[in-house]
Amino acid sequence: MSKQVEFFFDVGSPYTYLAYHQLPKIAEARQAEIVWRPILLGGVFQATGNHSPVEVPAKGKNLLVDLQRWARQYGVAMQMNPHFPINTLALMRGAVAMQMQGPDELQRYLAAIFGAMFEQPRNLNVPTEIGAVLQQAGFDPAAFLAAINEQAVKDKLKSDTAEAVERGVFGAPTFFVGDEMYWGQDRLHFVDQALA
């Protein structure tokens, strides 16, 4: 496959969760490869002066309604996590660590974490809850803890987040097809067109 779409994501973003379900369908239909790019959304916000929609009262009020509309549109099960916002530093280091182990491990990990974030919400601010979710999904929580504390993992998440900011990313999900940037899961039809 020569066509590629880069997917900059953070598991704490509910709109990223929606894109996580839709982008693979688009990529498959267009015979394109997804390049999974874990980033730390908090770091992006800090660098760009952007904020989570829930921090803007008028946006936050509309957020739940909007998310449910999109979830229905896509036929995706979704519940807003009552513990939102979640500090995703450990979770995104985990995504980097799993990606280093291979694409299958990353996908298994994302299925478990997104499930615990937006399908059957758990308090992923609590390390023991993360451990329980991972154990349930067949991961070794102690190995996970060791992996997310490796300097190479920390450095990769930092450098990929910095690269995202340099390329103009200010939120998640963000997609690149070549040099063209598309922000937000509601722009996926443009990603589809670009891949066509």
- Rounded CA gap, 76 and 120, in Å? 13
User: From the CB of residue 131, how many other CB atoms can be counted at a distance below 10 Å?
Assistant: 16
Q: CATH code at 146?
A: 3.40.30.10
Domain total of the chain: 1
Weakly modelled stretches of the chain, pLDDT under 50: none
State which amino acid sits at residue 123.
N
Residue 109 structural domain: 3-195
Q: Residue 172: which of 28, 53, 33 has the closest Cα?
A: 53
pLDDT at 51: 80
> Over the chain, what is the mean pLDDT?
95
pTM to 2 decimal places: 0.95
State which amino acid sits at residue 126.
V
pLDDT tens-digit readout, 122-150: 999 999 999 999 999 999 999 999 999 99
- Rounded CA gap, 132 and 176, in Å? 34
- Residue length, the chain? 196
Q: Specify burial of residue 86 (Cβ count, 10 A radius: 0-12, 13-18, 19+).
A: buried
At which residue do the structure tokens 């990529």 appear? 27
pLDDT at 52: 78
* DSSP one-letter code for 31: T
